[in-house]
Structures are given as C-alpha cells and as structure tokens.
Amino acid sequence: MNKGNNDISLSIPIVGEEEKAALREVIDSGWLSMGTKVQEFESAFAALHSQKNAVALSSCTAALHAILRAFDIGPGDEVLVPAVTFVATANAVLYVGATPVFIDIEDCQQPLLSLDDAAAKCSPKTKAVIVMHYGGYAVDVLQWRNFCDRQGIRLIEDAAHAPGVSGIGRLSDASAFSFFANKNMSTAEGGMVLSPDEKTLSAIRRLRGHGMTSDTIVRHLGHAYSYDVTMLGFNYRLDELRAAVGLVQLQHLPMWNRKRNKLAQAYRQKLAARVPSIIVPFDEGHKTSAHLMPLLLPENCRRKGVMDTLRRSGIQSSIHYPPVHLFSHYRKLFPDIALPKSEEFCRRELSLPLHPALEEIDVDRVTNCLQKALEVESGR
C-alpha cells in the first residue's frame, strides 16, 4: 500500500524498474541536458491531449510564467485568478508585474471559478483569466472560451491537477501542467505547456532557453553554429532524465486516472453511507483526473481534531488550499479582498488519501476512521 508499513499517505509517486531502466538508458547515452527525449516526451504528451505540439519546462510554475510572458502581459494589466488554488497560479501573475484579481468560486459544491464574479470583476485592464481544474475536476472550458471571446481576453488553464483529461488543453490559448512528485504523473519536478497556437508554443520554447534562437542540441547536431538572443528569457528547460521518466509515466497515466476515478467513486459511496453530514464536492460523473479527494466537514466540526485522529491511525490528510488572498504576502499587497464562498470552502475542506496504489479496503479504513473522528469531534 505505502511505505512498507500500515500508513496511508495522501499521495505517493509510483516509480519503479521501468523508470530506473529509462534513467540508465539516458545516462548511458552521454546526453543529459534537453535533447531528443524531451522532444519525444513533448510529442507523446501532445498526442495524449489531441494536440500537435507541446513544450516541456522545468515546472508548472515556469510554464505559467512563460505563458504570461508570451502573451505580453505585464505592469498595468490585470489577470483574473482563483483563490482556491496553489499559490503558484497567482504568483505567476506577480512575476510579470501584473495584478492578480481574485475571483470567488461558484459554491461549496462546485468550487471552480464563478463566471458571474469574473464578469463583475472584468475591467478594461483585464488581459486574461487563469482557470484551475481544482482536484482534476474539469472546468467548463467551452463556457470560459465564450466568455473570454466576448471580453476579448486570453484563456489560460492551470491544468496542474488534470493531465490526461479529455478536452483539457484544447480550447484555451494555453494550458500548463505539473509533474511535481505528488501529481497524477511525475518527473519529480517538471511541467508542460499545450497551446493550439504554434506561435505561442515557439515563443515559450524560446523563453524557456534564455531567449536563444537555437538549443545546444541543435548546434551539436550541426543544424546551427551560433545563436542570437531575441528576448529576455529564462532557464526553464527540462532535462533528458526527467523526460525519460515522463515518457514511462505517461504510458500509465490513463490507467492511473481510471483507478483514481474508481477509488473516488468508492469514497463517495462509503462517505454517503457512513458520514452523510459531509459534503463531497462536484456531482458524481463530473469529468476528472481525480487528483484530490476533497470533502467539506460539517460547519461546527474542528478540522484539526479530525486530522489529528486520522494521523494517529496512520492516515495522512491535508487541506487544499489555504486561500491565496489570505496569505500574509497577499494580504500586504491586497488587504481588502473578501471572497466569502472561497473562504468558507477553504475553512471546511479536508482532502483524503487518493492515489492509484490504494485499494478499496484502504478507502474502507479511511472512511471508517473518519466516521469515528467525526463522532468524537461532534460530541465535544
């Protein structure tokens, strides 16, 4: 199950002999920095999402930053972002000197960006919206595409939680994926950009490599002998070792996503039977990579007490997320923001373990323990 003991972790990277063999092959090849494995990984990732091309980067954060740069978003511009997300979504906006404008969620059952709130907060300065597929649960991208077309702004997907979900990465101007260790597929650290627009992809390719007109591999192969620098770029490259691991992981991703969905379904059924006072966000059947297993504890319940009880039974749990606008750094920058629905969601949210190495018997144990923890906490 996990760690060789009886503990149930929130998530674990699933890596083994295939990844070791892929790493050995790269090491034996003598070429470690960005090269043909990265290109192979990009093509395979693009194909899985029905796209022609993709650009691999060192992280999803780098991907979001590069996307905003490629769209020439900067000081004086505003970008609509969720607060129920990892801080990187909003940080990327600050990196380019633009202003993140936080949008509330629909409600606790549907903790995705509210179109109404987005419409209300759009201004002549708004240049883009970054939607985030929370927990892998797909945002209605077509609705957002129509909204952005009406407003004349860019649509960017933070798809860190949602690799391999059909329809994601196709209708937006660009989408960013993460291969961090706790994600549905991992290269330890890593990211990817998809865009249907070849010009966007080529700008991001250049931004990732110091703004240079040719890569080391291109010069090594004799296709170029020197280079120009045409923009202020970064070192956001992925390397061959990570790409080789990514290629192996990608092959398993569809099967892992299916297993996650099956486990999420089992959680829903057991939670409904055992702890009906809990809200499980999203409707059954909502398209998802089931990256997270989020739930909402009852109003009066002490979340820390529940987490402590779970931990004492060897079950890890977490919070996704503390709302970004309430972090000290953001409060200093934007002191007056109130997002009542996001704040309520984040106050009551608890994430249970979910990864493909779990079995239904683990779901049974977690939900049993949660039931007991809730009885204790409600009786206080």
**Does 132 sit near ligand PLP (CB under 6 A)?**
yes
d(CA 285, CA 264): 11
Please provide residue 78's backbone torsions phi and psi, each rounded to the nearest 5 degrees.
-120, 145
CB 194 within 8 A of CB 49: yes
Applying the rule CB under 6 A, the residues between 183 and 202 that interact with ligand PLP are: 191
The residue from 2, 51, 53, 59 that contacts ligand PLP (CB under 6 A) is 59
Q: Which is nearer to ligand PLP, 1 or 15 (CB)?
A: 15
**Does 129 sit near ligand PLP (CB under 6 A)?**
no
- The half-sphere exposure of 124 on its side-chain side, counting CA atoms within 13 A, is 0
Span from 59-67, 203-211, 221-229, 310-318 in contact with ligand PLP (CB under 6 A): 59-67
Question: Is 372 tagged catalytic?
Answer: no
Q: Which residues make Cβ contacts (< 8 Å) with residue 309, sequence separation at least 6?
A: 369, 372, 373, 376, 377
Assign 3-state DSSP to the chain and report helix, strand, coil percentages, each to 5: 45, 15, 40
d(CA 6, CA 217): 47
Positive or negative torsion for Cα 11, 16, 19, 20: positive
CB atoms within 10 A of CB 80: 27
**Does 180 sit near ligand PLP (CB under 6 A)?**
yes
The CB-of-189 to ligand PLP minimum distance in angstroms stands at 6
The residue from 2, 51, 89, 200 that contacts ligand PLP (CB under 6 A) is 89
Q: Could you say which of 183, 259, 270, 341 is catalytic?
A: 183
Span from 53-61, 101-109, 164-172, 209-217 in contact with ligand PLP (CB under 6 A): 53-61
Applying the rule CB under 6 A, the residues between 155 and 174 that interact with ligand PLP are: 158, 160-161
**Does 41 sit near ligand PLP (CB under 6 A)?**
no
Residue whose pair of structure tokens reads 């010069």 in the numeric block? 219
**Residues annotated as catalytic (active site), given as ranges:** 183
In the complex, the residues that contact ligand PLP under the rule CB under 6 A are: 59-61, 85-86, 88-89, 132, 158, 160-161, 178, 180, 191
